[in-house]
Amino acid sequence: MTRNELRAGASLSAIFGLRMLGLFLILPVFSVHAPQYAGGENLVLVGAALGAYGLTQAILQIPFGLASDRWGRKPVIYVGLAIFAAGSFLAAGAHDIWTAIAGRSLQGAGAISSVVVALAADLTGEAHRAKVMAMIGSTIAFSFALSLVAAPALYRAVGMGGLFVGVGVLSLSAIWLVAAVVPDLPQPALHPHAAPDSAELGAALGTELLRLNFGIFVLHMVQMAMFVVVPRLLIDAGLALADHWMLYLPVVLVSFAVMLPPIFYADRRNRPKPVLVGSVALLLAVMAALTLASGSVTAMAVLLFAFFAAFNVLEAILPSLVTRIAPARARGAAIGVYNTAQTLGLFFGGVGGGWIAGRYGAAAVFGACAVLCALWLAACAGMRAPRRTGAGHASVNPAGG
């Protein structure tokens, strides 16, 4: 990788990580704090505050992606970060649940995730794109783990308002990061892009991309649903809530190291399909095993390690494949569709996981996740892997290699 590619990957990963922290950081503490808001005893409204971020993200990912195709990536990222900061500061001053919902909704309205991924693809050669996507994908799992470890301590130190203010300040700092650190596109790409035609927009919803969009929806639905019940299972197994970081942190860090060999294999050999199918199969096995978990902390640690290993690989492989298959001029739109599916998975995973757990228990949550993974595995089996063309996008290999 060139210095510019490394610089682009590192800086855009930092920005993407901030977006995910905005979603994850309040999850471990918001329901505890919510009764302090007027109207915060209403659990439906508390759930709406948690899910509002993902819902507005889902609605606006495609418009932001289309805007970046037309007017350029960086200007759209500036606007999105400013909106995100405004929502953070609004939520920081909330005294009632409705203002908290409004703040979370406004945070999500700065829907730049698809634009960041599109810019990463623009700044990266196809031969190294999977590595950059691995850097970005890893920030999602790391942000999630960091939120589990850091949120309770930060909440005790600065309160919910302080958490929101901190996220808002980081968002404003990210505007400087985009301007000063993220490389500019080559000169011809600095001018507004020609709008993609109808055929290119149609290709952004092609069969192979729909498989990938379904995959990211399932992945994040499973992630949110399982973590509705995993913390309680760990407590029931004898691990106090204050000690959960002692399990999460090493599990996630080791899983980062384990993800590298399959990512390098998929990248260097141009064999993404077997890596994708194997990772989904591992995810299915983990969900099936969790339905039969004995309640042992050791068993849960092993299964969570396997989950994060598969999760990290999939977070790297899926966006890389989207950027390779999508037409260059509709790449922002295609990634917008992809990230819409991702955020809808987060929203429905939390709501659905809570509903199933409340009615049928934790084992039913894992069973439902296993069914979703089985459907995804069936969809993966029929995919046709893209060939490298050396151009801005890839063709599809009919042989499915």
Domain harbouring 31, CATH code: 1.20.1250.20
**What local confidence, expressed as pLDDT, does residue 321 receive?**
83
d(CA 286, CA 210): 25
Note whether residue 66 is domain-resident: yes
Domain-embedded: residue 171: yes
User: Residue 395: what pLDDT?
Assistant: 44
User: How far is the C-alpha of 267 from the C-alpha of 263, rounded, in Å?
Assistant: 6
Q: Is residue 208 part of a domain?
A: yes
Q: Is 125 helix (H, G, I), strand (E, B) or coil?
A: coil
Give whole-number Cα distances, 371 to 283, 291, 363, 368, in Å. Answer: 11, 12, 12, 5
Q: Is there a domain that residue 191 lies in?
A: no
Residues 341 and 245: their CA atoms lie apart, in Å, by 29
Q: How far is CA 337 from CA 1, 32, 135, in A?
A: 28, 34, 21
Q: Is residue 192 part of a domain?
A: no
Please indicate, yes or no, if residue 33 is contained in any of the structural domains: yes
Please give the residue range of the domain that contains residue 89. 3-184+197-396
Tens digit of pLDDT at every position of the chain (401 positions): 678 778 878 888 888 777 777 777 877 777 778 889 998 887 677 777 877 787 888 888 878 888 888 888 889 999 999 999 999 999 999 999 999 999 989 998 988 887 887 888 788 776 666 677 767 767 776 787 788 778 777 888 898 999 999 888 888 888 888 888 888 776 544 444 455 555 555 655 677 888 899 999 999 889 888 877 788 788 888 887 777 778 878 887 888 788 778 877 877 777 788 889 999 999 999 999 998 876 788 888 999 999 989 988 888 788 878 877 777 666 667 777 887 888 888 788 877 887 788 788 889 989 999 999 999 999 988 877 666 544 444 444 433 43
Q: Which residues contact 160 (CB under 8 A, 6 or more apart)?
A: 26, 29, 30, 33, 36, 92
Whether the Cβ atoms of residue 69 and residue 195 lie closer than 8 Å to each other: yes
pLDDT for res 33 = 82
pLDDT at 203: 58
**204 belongs to a structural domain:** yes
| Token pair in block for residue 356 | 């199933």
pTM: 0.74
Predicted pLDDT of residue 367: 94
What is the DSSP secondary structure assignment for residue 204, as one 8-state letter? T
In-domain check, residue 401: no
Q: How many domains does the chain have?
A: 1
Phi-psi region of 240 (alpha: psi -120 to 50; beta: other; left: phi over 0): beta
